A and B are shown apart, each in its own frame.
Chain A
Amino acid sequence: MKKKIELLAPAGDLERAKVAIRYGADAVYLGGKRFSLRSRSSNFDLKDIREAVRFARQYHSAIHVTVNLIPHDEDLEGLREYLMDLQEAGVTAIIAASPTIITEARRWAPGLQVHLSTQMSSTNLECIRFYQQMGVSRVVLARECSLEQIRYLAQNSPLEIETFIHGGMCVNYSGRCTLSNAMTWRDANRGGCAQSCRWKYHLLEKDERISDADRPFSMSSKDLLAFRYIPEMIAANVASLKIEGRMKSAYYIATVVKTYRMLIDEVLQHPGPLSAQQIAYYEKEFAKAENRPTCTGFLDHIPDHRDHLYGVNGSGVTHDFLGLVLDYDEGAQQAVLQVRNHFRKGERLEVFGPTLVNQQFLADEIINEAGEQIEVCNKPMETVRIRIPFAVSAGDMIRRGQAR
């Protein structure tokens, strides 16, 4: 059954695409080996894209492919064939910025929808009309839009509106930032961004240093966490809610996608603002994925000092991803588990999965491949059997039961 609003998740490789789809994404966006930002970092070849489409179809989900680099002449060779290959593979949409890529797609691969990348910083109806004339069917809004502006655009736009709800944020207008080009020769618009905005800088007025020696200037944005505005976005007719993070782990994707899936389904059933209790619950769930500290971006105010990071930039995580369920024997109440992180016998663990919501158990029996009872799991990718007193399924994930 077609969902009213699309939950759009990122994937850096086939494994993560499948995780996103199983955990409830209506569509997954991924990068091909060519013409995509983040090229060469776990990107998909055509065989993988075909497999992603095949898998997505089983779940009535869709695959979008980013073709979003700002090309130089040398980058354009083979574009037409590539777009035709994507169409033939059954991809639903490409996400693009260059007019050449957009018009070539419309001409040679008309079966592909074209979604305009956020790099084009679309913030008003007039520019949306301009891109409509170019053949675009959906616009990914600039992250600089407020909730009010998103609402206005979604209600009045002739094209579908997609908006970011979660993940890392460029501090500058996307597509217009060359900090990385200038400081590392790596072009952000061709997938090379070195995140120079997150570095530390002295600030001087003429020759006087006015920055704090212990707390230098930085432009590092906290990550976006917009879940509390989902009811308004659904009511406003936003077509797609986008999660950022093609470089993120399968565990992150599973946690975030699952949590939004639950939230969206709940709001679709019971429209209206979230209660304080719901906000507290979902906040806790999102915190189980590794994240920088979060903010609400531009949705309710222009980000200020509370929304930036001046000290440590690293990700925080409250619940480690400990293992992936490979199989479950109902008779023996034993799961076969691929270990991902260190845990001990006697710890309280939590299982979650596409159809399973946070069930906890005590790890009271762990058996290694040699059939020996063990006290500790400390070898990543080792396969163990663990007693779980309720049914779990292959693909479910196990994390620590309590925040660290």
Chain B
Amino acid sequence: MEWITYYTGMQDLKDYKQHGITTILLAPESLASRVPQLNSWEEIETAVSLCRRLGLQAGIMLNRIYFDEDLEKLEEALDRIEALGINRIDYTDPAVYMRAKARGWQSLCFYNPDTLMCNTRDVQFYLDLGLGGVILSKEITLMEMQKIIASVHGKTELILFGHLVMAYSKRALLSAYQAEIQSDRDLSGKQDLVLIETTRQGRMPIVEDAAGTTIYTDYTLAAYAELKPLIASGAERFRLDNHFLKKEEFLDCLDGFHQVLAGQPAKKVMEERQARYPHLALSSGYMHQKTNLVKE
């Protein structure tokens, strides 16, 4: 079974390993986004060697939408990935697949287009390209996930935990707003900003970086109850997003999944953490909620 999360600093790797994480995803500056931390290649190099010493797999996030002027940098990244001996690349833009394919690296590529992998046949289409795996959309229900996992040939991965990416824009939405209200606060890169819709209470994290602006759900997905049914359908790879969480909170929530596997009732695991971390608004997300309403 694989448990995947994002790099948050050298100091955290050992703890992640001890709490059952098997794969760390690192995010190079100017090529990745929607991650807790962007890193220079020098940091990535050091982190990858520590991962190796600890027995952790390392992957590289190349998950931006690229323009032609970015492709040279992308090619350089692939050279570095080769030099580092990395065997996993997460991507959104088919340009990454095309460049990787030119090197015969299809099986290193994991396709994660956020919202698009919603049915069995689309997932199989991408797996048939020889990809290492496809990350299913988090907007589909548990039953839909189970059907896809049981039907396709190839590796799928599921997002089981974390604030979910809700939208991303190429626009610097926070800077634009600051200009509009004539404020000189620099909000770029801040990780502690939230939006609250004026008639609601939910707190939605919002982050602006060089790639644009990303908005996250006001809840934290915690699919404890869904873990065993997913495994029963054949799921083996799970991603837990640590973005916006303190390390201790994340590790405790991560432990919850292992407790479920060890036989503890998922309901109890969830309720304990909901009581401990009310601010995380732990939820089952779309697992049991269809979003097929349309405007009449």
Contacts and interface: CB of A to CB of B under 8 A. Distances in A.
Interface of A: 38-41, 70-73, 75-76, 97-100, 103, 121, 123-127, 129-131, 142, 144-145, 149, 152-153, 171-173, 175-179, 181-187, 189-194, 196-197, 199-206, 210-212, 215-219, 298, 302-305, 307-308, 310
B94 A131 contact: yes
B198 A199 contact: yes
B170 A304 contact: no
Contact of A181 (B121, B144, B174, B291): B291
A98 B70 CA distance: 26
Nearest to A99: B125
Contacts of B236: none
B167 A197 contact: yes
A322 to B, nearest CB: 29
Contact of B170 (A98, A178, A302): A302
Contact of B293 (A70, A129, A142, A185): A185
Contacts of A203: 174, 177, 193-195, 206
Interface in B31-82: 65-68, 70-71
B120 interface: yes
Contacts of A178: 115, 139, 164, 166-167, 291
Interface centre among B115, B167, B292 (most CB of A within 10 A): B167
Interface residues of B, number: 70
A212 B172 contact: no
B119 A187 contact: no
Contacts of A125: 68
A87 to B, nearest CB: 20
16 contacts: A39-B294, A40-B296, A72-B118, A99-B122, A121-B65, A153-B68, A171-B169, A176-B114, A176-B116, A177-B167, A184-B293, A187-B292, A189-B118, A193-B295, A202-B198, A305-B179
A217 B148 CA distance: 39
B66 A100 contact: no
Given A70-B118, A100-B119, A181 B139 contact: yes
A153 to B, nearest CB: 7
A77 B208 CA distance: 40
B290 A211 contact: no
B203 interface: yes
Nearest to B120: A73
A127 B183 contact: no
B168 A182 contact: no
B236 to A, nearest CB: 21
A165 to B, nearest CB: 18
Contact of B294 (A70, A144, A191, A219): A191
Given A187-B291, A204-B193, A310 B177 contact: yes
B184 to A, nearest CB: 12
Nearest to A216: B198
Given A76-B119, A99-B126, A100-B119, A205 B65 contact: no
Contacts of B180: 215, 305, 308, 310
A40 B169 contact: no
A173 B165 CA distance: 12
Interface centre among A98, A191, A305 (most CB of B within 10 A): A305
B293 A71 contact: no
B125 A103 contact: yes
Contacts of B121: 73, 76, 99-100
Given A70-B116, A173-B170, A175-B115, A204 B203 contact: yes
A206 to B, nearest CB: 5
B277 interface: no
A144 B169 CA distance: 9
Nearest to B97: A130
B232 interface: no
Nearest to A190: B292
Contact of B66 (A124, A179, A191): A124
Contact of A304 (B115, B140, B179, B200): B179
B99 interface: yes
Contact of A192 (B168, B198, B218, B293): B293
Nearest to A127: B94
Contact of B196 (A152, A175, A192, A204): A204
A66 B123 CA distance: 22
Given A99-B122, A172-B169, A191 B295 contact: yes
A304 B176 contact: yes
Contacts of A124: 66-68, 70-71, 93, 95
Contacts of B295: 38, 40-41, 186, 191-194
